[in-house]
Amino acid sequence: MEQASRAAAAHGETLDRLRAKYNPLYSASKQYESALEEISFAEREGAISAQMAEQARARAAQTLDPGGGKISENIFIDGVPR
């Protein structure tokens, strides 16, 4: 049972790596998620203030969507912009 759990986890990690490699939006969202985790950790540990954490979160969000809320303009479904 434990071996099956490890195999499933490894398979999931492989799929995540492939998604990140070939899907730019997925890759960007994972980088954003990682940045938020690091910011929260730094704030919790007292390495940065709440104000600095807020600013860092805003910068991370801007990195995910540098168009200022226009990310949906680049979404296509079956070749049709949505």
The domain locations on the chain are: 24-65
Cβ-proximal residues to 29 (8 Å cutoff; 6+ apart), any chain: 64
pLDDT band at 55 (very low <50, low <70, confident <90, very high): very high
What's the confidence (pLDDT) of residue 23?
85
* Residue pLDDT, tens place only, 61-75: 988 776 655 454 555
Strand partners, 81: 76
* Residue pLDDT, tens place only, 15-41: 988 887 888 888 888 899 999 999 999
